[in-house]
Structure 1
Amino acid sequence: MSARALPAATAAATAGLAWAGARRLAARPAGERWARTNHRGRPLTLLEGPALAVGALAAVAVAPLPARARAGAALATAVAGALGAVDDLAGSADARGLRGHLGALARGRLTTGGLKVVGIGLGGLVGAAVLDGRGPDHDAPSALDRLVAGAVVAGSANLVNLLDLRPGRALKAVLLLGHLVGGAGVPGSRPGAPLASAGAGAAAALLLPDLRERGMLGDCGANAAGALLGCAVLTRTRSRAARAAVLTALLALTGASERVSFTRVIESTPGLRQLDRLGRAAPPAGRPTAPHAGSPTAAPTAPPTARAAPATTPGP
């Protein structure tokens, strides 16, 4: 079985089974904490996120990569997913976006979003260091190399989270970016296919229920998928210039999200608009979009872009 096929098949099968279990749990009292109402007022569950994380981690475990690469990717993905779940369940709307959470930290108040920013950053840093190990010349990468690699993982986790505002959008991004990252290697590069395929397999298994608005990734699933995609970038290339370019793009998109609604940009761009709407149910004629009341870290600051609102007031 190819380097792509085994992780993809494992991720798809595991995520599919986990989603089947999640749907049963969602119908029970224990699943009520994960219940949300999306931007169209339709009830759904955030348990899709844990299902994706479980599928991705299962695929990482069987990926044809060195043990340290699997361990680093699993660590970064698990930390991102776990802290995302904390924010899903206990997050508040007091602070929004990266600027809001960092501002709260500067004032001495740690929000669940702030915990996620710090924790995913540290998880990405450690996970990337384990994944990279020592260079081909047996010299350890510099502190700057370590910092850039960790930031690529954390930035990727945040980017996918920023896209989880409409049904299918984040999962389509994982599939498309995973295809690009997992493509054939170039001179001086290592293949990114196993980890990229792990995320893509889980995304493919959950795309249909996401498009049908039965579930959404939430911070747990989006952060886990993004962190794994960042790890795939690191397995694809050790080039300082390439990694720095990826990080620059991630920082630019994160900064733009604080000022510009991604949804408005996508809706106003031909091609992107059609791709974004592909497979999604058409909104009822004349029905207004629900007001923003979503996860404090799952959406940019612009109110009309929220995808999910808590069914009940989140805990502290």
Structure 2
Amino acid sequence: MNWPALRSELRRTNYAGRPVTLAEGAAVSALLATGTALAGSRRDALVLGAVGALGLADDLLEPRQRRAGRPVAKGLRGHLGALCSGRLTTGGAKALGIPALALLGAAAAPRPRHGAMVAADAILVAGCANLANLLDLRPGRALKAVIPAAAALAVPSASAPARGRRDAGQGHPCGDRDASGRALAIAALVPAAAALLPDLREHGMLGDAGANALGAAVGLAATRRAPRPVRLGLTGLVVALTLASERVSFSAVIDRIPALRAVDSWGRRHTPSGSAEDPDA
């Protein structure tokens, strides 16, 4: 393994013109998969590890395509358009692979649902993976969404007695749906919290590898723990935001709303005047 070459491939210049590394995202993805496996679910770990691997492939290969002068599709519409024309981009591979992995994760849950609800759960997981990546455009932004969501999903449930929860698991290594959802949320929360300060200080960034994997983990945890009306509402919201992102700049919207702007800028380094503040880059 040529480590200096790999470090060079992971180096990027961020929106403020500062050097950052995507090694942060690769480490977050690896820690997430490892934590999930240690919690007892190898199936979930394989799903999340594969999501991170697809993201890392996109992180590494897209810049090479750019340097080679090949056309690079942007956004969901661009990648799907490339697929329709017979060209598979790295983003197109994610657009195919992440939903398939999300479906596997939904179907492999304890006491899996059937039919339409499995499909709905897969949409939520894939949508969360994509949404986290869409938010990873400024330091700390994606993590400020992931950390509160993961923390809320990690709170123990006081509803079912311990024995009832164990029995409901039917032999699943993580117990029942609620227990496996908590395990996923905790596995996401730990590396996300560890990455927050380096991300805010602009030493690194999540990239597709970290953002896709964390988003998928939070989405998968939500499918295990949230009641049906909440899951369906979250799915509708995630789909709506994904479609809106094709036409609207999240950065521009955040900058126009004082409360969102304050949360978004908390902990971030001062941006020098005159730096490139493109809306979504």
Which of the residues 202, 208, 224 maps onto 2:213? 224
Which of the residues 197, 206, 224 maps onto 1:235? 224
Unmatched segments (≥5 aa) in structure 1: 1-24, 135-140, 291-302, 307-316
2:95 is equivalent to residue 124 of structure 1: no
Which residue is equivalent to 1:205? 194
Change beyond 3 A, Cα 1:103–1:30: closer
2:42 is equivalent to residue 42 of structure 1: no
2:63 is equivalent to residue 74 of structure 1: no
Which residue is equivalent to 1:262? 250
TM-score normalized by the length of structure 2: 0.85
Letter of the 2:92 counterpart: G
Which residue is equivalent to 2:90? 112
Identical counterparts, % of pairs: 46
Q: Is the 8 A contact 1:81 1:221 kept in 2?
A: yes
Unmatched segments (≥5 aa) in structure 2: 66-70, 161-176
Change beyond 3 A, Cα 1:106–1:241: same
Q: Post-superposition shift, 1:197?
A: 1.9
Q: Is the 8 A contact 2:153 2:182 kept in 1?
A: yes
2:84 is equivalent to residue 97 of structure 1: no
Which of the residues 230, 248, 252 maps onto 2:236? 248
Q: Post-superposition shift, 1:186?
A: 7.5
2:141 is equivalent to residue 169 of structure 1: yes
Aligned equivalents of 2:109, 2:268: Cα separation in 1? 37
Q: Post-superposition shift, 1:73?
A: 2.3
Aligned equivalents of 1:151, 1:249: Cα separation in 2? 11
Residues 45-96 of structure 1 show CA distances to partners (whole Å, capped at 9, x for unaligned) of 1111111011112221232xxx5xx234213211210000110011256211
Q: Post-superposition shift, 1:173?
A: 1.1
2:51 is equivalent to residue 86 of structure 1: no
Which residue is equivalent to 1:298? none
1:54 aligned counterpart, secondary structure? helix
C-alpha RMSD of matched pairs (Å): 1.9
1:44 aligned counterpart, secondary structure? strand
1:36 aligned counterpart, secondary structure? strand
Q: Is the 8 A contact 1:71 1:131 kept in 2?
A: no
2:279 is equivalent to residue 304 of structure 1: yes
Aligned equivalents of 1:150, 1:186: Cα separation in 2? 27
Change beyond 3 A, Cα 1:184–1:269: farther
Q: Is the 8 A contact 2:37 2:44 kept in 1?
A: no
Which residue is equivalent to 2:166? none
Aligned equivalents of 1:171, 1:53: Cα separation in 2? 13
2:155 aligned counterpart, secondary structure? coil
Q: Post-superposition shift, 1:273?
A: 1.0
TM-score normalized by the length of structure 1: 0.76
Q: Is the 8 A contact 1:158 1:223 kept in 2?
A: yes
Q: Is the 8 A contact 2:17 2:275 kept in 1?
A: no
Q: Post-superposition shift, 1:260?
A: 0.9
Aligned equivalents of 2:5, 2:50: Cα separation in 1? 26
Letter of the 1:265 counterpart: V
Q: Is the 8 A contact 1:73 1:128 kept in 2?
A: no
More helix by share: 2
Aligned residues: 255
| Of 160-169 and 272-281, the range deviating more from structure 2 | 272-281
